[in-house]
């Protein structure tokens, strides 16, 4: 376990530049759990073991140290999955500033959503600053299943379900796009599982079989369902066990 200067630990967690982090420490706004509860620390150069999960208090807010951030967000309707939204608020405004400011080597700072949801789509989003994980979970090569609860305008029939399973051709690709699983749960409720993510894919697939999406909610990624106790607009850290369900590892 490597040790780091306290100001560098705070910087790595997104609390500002090293100068700002040093100032937070010097002004008495930082406490660290060194094994027996939180204690005041006023030296920004103090060496602290970069222990995963170690608790800090920064301006009265408890914060666990994570070398990489893995968080779960229940996206409500009316938010865009963009740092620079065009018409609706950014979903990143639902996160604390520290998650938005975590330093990265790329020009874009902070955690990024693993796959986007349209502004009117609700449900499960994973956000992280782990680039390889974003690639692995987003790439169609890895076939990470994502489950959607679809409310349709017209009643569903067996022919529509079968066509979604057989594959439909979308206007940007001659290769048919197939649902990995598809089940009509009610007259206007479809549960659809996809292993790739194209632009407006669910809406376009339903349009291709002669129906229309009027409600869309992502309920599961990998083997992990959206927790019942995570309400729209809320976020929390992903546990190690949940990461195994998400990634299959």
Q: Is 120 assigned a catalytic role?
A: no
Which two structure tokens, joined as six digits, stand for 134? Answer: 């974003």
Q: How many Å apart are CA 184 and CA 139, to the nearest integer?
A: 27
Annotate 50-73 with DSSP letters as a single string. Answer: --TT-EEEETTEEEE--SS-EEEE
- Count Cβ atoms within 10 A of the Cβ of residue 128 and give its class: 0-12 exposed, 13-18 middle, 19 or more buried: buried
8, 33, 118, 129: the catalytic one is 118
Q: How many Å apart are CA 90 and CA 102, to the nearest integer?
A: 17
Which two structure tokens, joined as six digits, stand for 168? Answer: 């439909």
Could you list the active site residues?
118
């Amino acid at each position: 376990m490597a040790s780091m200067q306290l100001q560098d630990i705070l910087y790595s967690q997104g609390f500002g530049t090293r100068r700002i982090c040093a100032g937070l420490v010097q002004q008495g706004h930082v406490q660290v759990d060194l094994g027996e509860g939180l204690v005041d620390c006023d030296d920004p150069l103090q060496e602290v073991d970069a222990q995963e999960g170690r608790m800090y208090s920064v301006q009265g807010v408890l914060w666990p140290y994570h070398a990489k951030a893995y968080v779960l967000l229940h996206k409500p309707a009316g938010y865009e999955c963009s740092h620079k939204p065009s018409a609706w608020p950014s979903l990143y405004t639902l996160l604390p500033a520290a998650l938005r400011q975590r330093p990265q080597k790329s020009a874009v700072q902070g955690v990024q959503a693993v796959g986007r949801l349209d502004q009117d789509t609700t449900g499960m989003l994973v956000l992280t600053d782990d680039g390889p994980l974003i690639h692995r979970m987003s790439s169609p090569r890895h076939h990470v299943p994502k489950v959607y609860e679809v409310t349709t305008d017209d009643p569903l029939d067996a022919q529509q379900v079968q066509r979604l399973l057989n594959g439909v051709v979308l206007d940007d690709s001659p290769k048919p796009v197939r649902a990995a699983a598809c089940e009509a749960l009610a007259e206007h409720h479809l549960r659809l599982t996809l292993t790739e993510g194209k632009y407006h894919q669910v809406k376009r697939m339903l349009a291709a079989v002669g129906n229309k999406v009027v409600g869309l909610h992502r309920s599961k990624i990998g083997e992990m369902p959206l927790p019942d106790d995570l309400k729209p607009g809320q976020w929390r850290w992903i546990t190690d066990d949940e990461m195994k369900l998400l990634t299959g590892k």
